[in-house]
Amino acid sequence: MTRPHSTIVTGSGSGIGRAIVHALAHDPDDPPQVIAALDSGYSEKVRQTRTGASVILEFSADVTDEERIAEIFDDLATNHPPVLKVAHAAGVLQQGALADTGLDEYSRVMGVNATGTFIVLRQTARTLRLQHEQGEHPGAIVTVSSNAAAVPRIGMAAYAASKAAVSALSANAALELASLGARCNTVAPGSTDSPMQRSMWHDDDDRDRARVIAGDPEAFRLGIPLGRIADPRDIAEVVQFALSDKARHMTMQEIVVDGGASLRS
């Protein structure tokens, strides 16, 4: 895809999202001219920087705000190269036993992870459809789910349900967009060294890290066969591949990147 294009990355303020921005901006084969980096934590409405070969436009945006998401897509369509890649990594964590989870807590995690994914995918589908009618090259989408979507975890019911919704929405988007030549895949990380992961730990990071790697039989949780927690870059580089033309015949797939923790065959 060596042609001028823009890329949108949600959840770009930290962790996996930030690593995706860095990986794409330093892509030796096909860096985007513009990366629209969306995150609700940015203090300015729009800020322009540069990383690698790309102009980075940092947009303060909540993925549950459909008007703001539409506004950003419209701004890119009017003022920048066409949006041909979207990496949706925005998400929040919710822990707690099912019996102890409040409806407000459940609604929050479903709002960001499930509804936010719906809003971003819907706007992307509208944009790709319009660009297709204008003769533009088809695009590619990658959403970030979790291995928790398919593997039950004690204390993770609401989060797992929200990430299962990400996977289901993405597969349906892939099917509907296939006639345009556009692709949509999902990357499902396991435990990753990010602010979200560290928020689950206590005071001793080394002990908590070792516990995650070893597993916890009392919680029916398997360990990580590769013997380490993922670096955000491990996930970002898979996202980068799935967005690239090297994956041009891959769509509707879920790629698990968890060091073997889910023991999938």
Q: Are residues 137 and 202 in the same domain?
A: no
Residue 89 lies in a domain: yes
Q: How far from the centroid of its chain's Cα atoms is residue 223's Cα?
A: 23
Q: What is the CATH number of the domain that holds 58?
A: 3.40.50.720
Q: Which residues are catalytic?
A: 159
User: Is residue 87 located within the same domain as residue 182?
Assistant: yes
Same domain, 27 and 93: yes
Give the residue numbers spanning the domain of 11. Answer: 6-190+232-256
Residue 117 and residue 204 in one domain: no
Indicate whether 175 belongs to any domain.
yes
Rounded to an integer, what distance in angstroms lies between the CA atom of residue 210 and that of residue 47? 39
What pLDDT shows up at residue 265? 45
Q: What's this model's pTM, rounded to 2 decimal places?
A: 0.92
Task: Supply the DSSP symbol for 260.
Answer: T
For the chain, what is the domain count?
2
Residue 198, pLDDT score: 61
Residues 203 and 73 in one domain: no
What are the distances in angstroms from CA 86 to CA 20, 95, 133, 167, 229?
A: 11, 28, 19, 15, 26
Are 137 and 171 in the same domain?
Answer: yes
160 and 211 fall within a common domain? no
The one-digit pLDDT tens for each residue of the chain (265 residues) are 567 899 999 999 999 999 999 999 999 988 899 999 999 999 888 999 988 889 999 999 999 999 999 999 999 999 999 999 999 999 999 999 999 999 999 999 999 999 999 999 999 999 999 999 999 999 999 999 999 999 988 999 999 999 999 999 999 999 999 999 999 999 999 988 877 666 665 665 666 666 667 677 766 678 889 999 999 999 999 999 999 999 999 999 999 999 999 887 4
Is residue 263 one of the residues assigned to a domain?
Answer: no
pLDDT of residue 74: 97
Residues 245 and 134 in one domain: yes
Residues 135 and 211 in one domain: no
Q: Look at residue 54 and tell me if it is in a domain.
A: yes
Q: Same structural domain for residues 220 and 149? A: no
Is the same domain home to 95 and 219?
Answer: no
How far apart CA 93 and CA 41 sit, in angstroms, is 15
In a domain, 71, yes or no: yes
Specify the pLDDT at position 22.
95
- 20 shares a domain with 148: yes
